[in-house]
Amino acid sequence: MIMNRHARPSTDAMLEDLRTLVEVESPSRDLDAIHASAAAVAAVIEERLGGQAVLIDGPVGPHVHWSGGGSPQVLVLGHHDTVFPLGTLERRPFRVEDGRVLGPGVFDMLGGLVQAIHGLSALDDLTGVEILVTADEEVGSASSRALIEERARACGHVLVFEGAADGGGLKTARKGCGTFEVCVTGRASHAGLEPEAGVNALVEAAHQVVAIQALSRPEIGTTVSPTVASAGTSDNVIPAQATVWVDVRVESNEEKDRVEAAFAGLTPRLEGAALTVRGGVNRPPMPESASRALFELARELQPGIEGVAVGGGSDGNFTGALGIPTLDGLGAVGGGAHADHEFLLVDTMEERANLVTGLVEAIRNRRTA
């Protein structure tokens, strides 16, 4: 059991820790950068909360796990990898201007991590609290999913510190999401001398794009969107290869199954063409039912706070799909995730940290009542 020694959250202290984390750049899959970032996150946790943060190594770098001891009751979940390549910090350094914090990763999601840590630091007793900060959320969480689900089952409640919805709303439901890769194999030939001898992979890909787009059912929340395509080697060669990448978002497991079956059933339109389909909906939908009880607790603590269903995915999809009470969007209030104008609103930091304190206290009190 860890008895805390810190006072209520301070904006200045949070900004100090946020600067520390932002200035250790952490692009996904860059092992050296991710190791340095994990060490920095662990050091901030230990400095503010005491105890020891354990680095759990994986193929894409270390995840950070910390426990306040005792019987686990609530999991604070986040990630320390970011989407920005090394060198972004030189172009967009950490700074505070006109009430905004700017810099790579301040909104998604280093600001949320810092607010969570400082919110926990206001608790006298950290028994039952766990923190898990993963290294691969931005690239699908393949190496962390099993660990996330294990700790979520053990704790029974999950608080996810992804950035807030517009206006500071909490994220009470998320679509399932995933990516499919459709690879077309045709046969090359000279486009001028004997085009009929070839099998045009680009034309076949065009047929498939039309069929794939038709899988969308936006009226029930399903979007199937071809987003990237490549084909051909030269303007006078019938292309032998083409690839199409497709983004998929669904609100139900039934739609997940329908769309995955449809991709598995794609067939070529041109004689001699062949298809290979990879991928799937790797993040299941997070239903509103998973967040309902925790959202009501949050509204008791901050009357008027809104709950929003969103299309983007997070690690909360995994825990919510298991039926474990999960509340997302508890992190930074700001915007511009994955963009150059990413920002965090300074004057919201203490309020969000205080919400962490109140939620953890309320969860533990209800578990022991």
Task: Give the pLDDT score at 201.
Answer: 98
CB 225 within 8 A of CB 314: no
State whether residue 115 is helix, strand or coil. helix
Task: Give the pLDDT score at 367.
Answer: 60
Question: Structurally, how many domains does the chain consist of?
Answer: 2
Do 290 and 204 share a structural domain?
A: no
Task: Give the pLDDT score at 4.
Answer: 58
List, in sequence order, every residue forming a beta bridge with 253; answer none if it has no partner.
Answer: none
Give the mean pLDDT of the chain. Answer: 96
End position of a domain, from candidates 254, 283, 312: 283
Across 301-320, average pLDDT = 96
Across 253-260, average pLDDT = 97
Question: In whole angstroms, what is the distance from residue 303 CA to residue 355 CA?
Answer: 11
Strands 158-160 and 74-79: parallel
End position of a domain, from candidates 240, 263, 283: 283
pLDDT over 50 (residue 16) = yes
Closest by CA position to 80, among listed 156, 120, 133: 133
- Examine residue 5 and state whether it is found in any structural domain, yes or no: no
Task: Give the pLDDT score at 3.
Answer: 57
Which residues are part of the catalytic machinery? 81, 137
Do 321 and 250 share a structural domain?
A: no
Do 225 and 170 share a structural domain?
A: no
Question: In whole angstroms, what is the distance from residue 174 CA to residue 288 CA?
Answer: 8
Give the single-character DSSP code of 296: H
- Examine residue 6 and state whether it is found in any structural domain, yes or no: no
Burial class (CB in 10 A: 0-12, 13-18, 19+), 332: buried
Task: Give the pLDDT score at 368.
Answer: 43
Give the single-character DSSP code of 287: -
| pLDDT tens-digit series, residues 346-361 | 999 999 999 999 999 9
CATH, residue 144 = 3.40.630.10
Across 3-10, average pLDDT = 69
Q: Cβ atoms within 10 A of the Cβ of 361, count?
A: 17
Question: In whole angstroms, what is the distance from residue 258 CA to residue 361 CA?
Answer: 42
How many residues belong to the chain?
369
pLDDT over 90 (residue 369) = no
Residue with tokens 């963009």: 339
Task: Give the pLDDT score at 6.
Answer: 55
pLDDT over 60 (residue 140) = yes
End position of a domain, from candidates 247, 263, 283: 283
Q: What CA–CA distances, in Å, run from 94 to 36, 103, 148?
A: 18, 5, 30
| pLDDT tens-digit series, residues 146-165 | 999 999 999 999 999 999 99
Question: In whole angstroms, what is the distance from residue 208 CA to residue 206 CA?
Answer: 5
Is 0.85 topped by the overall pTM? yes
Do 208 and 114 share a structural domain?
A: no
- Examine residue 83 and state whether it is found in any structural domain, yes or no: yes
Question: In whole angstroms, what is the distance from residue 170 CA to residue 152 CA?
Answer: 19
Q: Sign of torsion, CA 206 240 274 271?
A: positive
pLDDT over 90 (residue 244) = yes
Do 145 and 29 share a structural domain?
A: yes
Do 182 and 39 share a structural domain?
A: no
pLDDT over 70 (residue 307) = yes
Question: In whole angstroms, what is the distance from residue 292 CA to residue 287 CA?
Answer: 9
CATH, residue 225 = 3.30.70.360
- Examine residue 2 and state whether it is found in any structural domain, yes or no: no
pLDDT over 80 (residue 7) = no
Question: In whole angstroms, what is the distance from residue 22 CA to residue 37 CA?
Answer: 9
- Examine residue 169 and state whether it is found in any structural domain, yes or no: yes
Task: Give the pLDDT score at 1.
Answer: 60
Do 26 and 137 share a structural domain?
A: yes
- Examine residue 277 and state whether it is found in any structural domain, yes or no: yes
Question: In whole angstroms, what is the distance from residue 363 CA to residue 358 CA?
Answer: 9
Give residue 122's domain range: 11-175+285-368
Question: In whole angstroms, what is the distance from residue 116 CA to residue 356 CA?
Answer: 6
Half-sphere exposure of residue 52: CA atoms within 13 angstroms, side-chain side: 3
pLDDT over 90 (residue 8) = no
DSSP H stretches of helix in the chain: 11-22, 31-49, 88-91, 111-121, 145-155, 201-213, 253-264, 288-301, 316-321, 349-368
Q: Which helix (H) or strand (E) holds 227?
A: strand 223-231
| pLDDT tens-digit series, residues 181-237 | 999 999 999 999 999 999 999 999 999 999 999 999 999 999 999 999 999 999 999
**What percent of the chain lies above the pLDDT cut of 70?**
97
| pLDDT tens-digit series, residues 39-92 | 999 999 999 999 999 999 999 999 999 999 999 999 999 999 999 999 999 999
Closest by CA position to 26, among listed 64, 83, 76: 83
- Examine residue 363 and state whether it is found in any structural domain, yes or no: yes
- Examine residue 3 and state whether it is found in any structural domain, yes or no: no
C-alpha torsion 234→235→237→238, nearest 10: 120
